[in-house]
Amino acid sequence: MKDALSKDSPKTKTKKVLRHLAGNNSSLNKVRRSLEFHYALIKQLRLKYKLKENKKKVSHAVIGSVIRKYKALSYIRSEIGIRNPSKDDRMKKKGTTIKRMRVDVHQYFERDDNSRITTGVCPTVTKLEDKRQKRLLLDTIENLYEKYRREAKEAISFTTFWRLKPFWVKQKTEKERETCLCKTCENLTFMAIVLYKHKVIKTFNIEVLVTQVVCNPNNKDCMFGNCSSCKEKQVETNIEDFNTEMSWNRWKTEKGKRTFKNGEIKEVTVPKKTQENGSLGHLMDRFHDDLWIKG
Ligand SMILES: [Zn+2]
Ligand SMILES: [Zn+2]
């Protein structure tokens, strides 16, 4: 209602306000005239206030004891667009509170009694080019909230607590409890299963195999492939003949064409399961190539 009114001219506004009043006597004309003047004045002040050099003058002129007496302070502020400095302060204060809380909540979530870093092949999460090491919560978010409330100096709502959680700290999903289903991990699993069947390795659990090629799965450098002592570490194997012929599955992406509902044909990439063949030595190389791309 107010928005629709503000687009109108002072004359139209007045007409709209008065449209339900019948008659055309002189007192109605007086009301009309006063209202038109009111809207014209507001409009003029608003236009003046828009210029930077006028801001102080205009607010000085319109804010005073009369306006206060008639309790029209917030009305005149919103009509002319004058910012409320005390409200700005409050917002600023709220901003710093949130900032401080964010630091506290981040520290809390990253503590080793509340979350742990992942030991899978994909230990990182990236959001807006910010690459972080993924951590998994050790308890339900409800329990962690209750615990935080008991420890925290200031009150915090559950919603704020949840909103301030760092994006790299995640709840375990059903998938993560089992295995990662990304392309890299699935390809690793295809190779691991074949190696396991040929009794080359003792397990096809990728998480366990990852721990064999790093000094310490809790060390960020090792997991990111930046540690010189484990950069080229290999999994424990039992190999009799490197030339044994092997074949394994691998996901590849292929360019394909897809027809959309509106008849448009677009090029898309589609994953395709392919079969690869090669010697055991070659397979081991491929396997380690993929395993070393940790993150
Ligand atoms: Zn993965
Ligand atoms: Zn290392």
Query: How far is ligand 2, taken at its centre, from the CA of residue 119, in Å?
Result: 13
What is the pLDDT at residue 125?
74
Query: How far is ligand 1, taken at its centre, from the CA of residue 214, in Å?
Result: 17
Query: How far is ligand 1, taken at its centre, from the CA of residue 122, in Å?
Result: 5
- Please give the radius of gyration of the chain, using alpha carbons only, rounded to the nearest integer: 34
Q: How far apart are CA 142 and CA 220, in angstroms?
A: 28
Query: How far is ligand 1, taken at its centre, from the CA of residue 225, in Å?
Result: 16
Query: How far is ligand 2, taken at its centre, from the CA of residue 108, in Å?
Result: 27
Closest CA to 242 of 201, 280, 191: 280
What is the value of ipTM here, to two decimals? 0.84
CA distances from 32 to 9, 42, 44, 45, 75 (A): 14, 15, 18, 20, 20
Mean pLDDT of the chain: 83
Count CA atoms closer than 13 A to 18's CA, side-chain side: 20
Q: Which ligand is nearest to the CA of 175?
A: 1
Ranges of residues in the chain with a pLDDT under 50 are 1-2, 4, 177-178, 295
Does residue 137 contact residue 169 with C-beta atoms inside 8 Å? yes
Residue-wise pLDDT for 133-181, tens only, equals 788 888 888 899 999 999 888 888 998 999 999 998 888 765 554 456 6
User: Residue for token digits 């003046």?
Assistant: 48
Q: Which ligand is nearest to the CA of 294?
A: 1
Does residue 49 contact residue 55 with C-beta atoms inside 8 Å? yes
Query: How far is ligand 2, taken at its centre, from the CA of residue 230, in Å?
Result: 4
Query: How far is ligand 1, taken at its centre, from the CA of residue 179, in Å?
Result: 8
Closest CA to 184 of 103, 291, 262, 95: 291
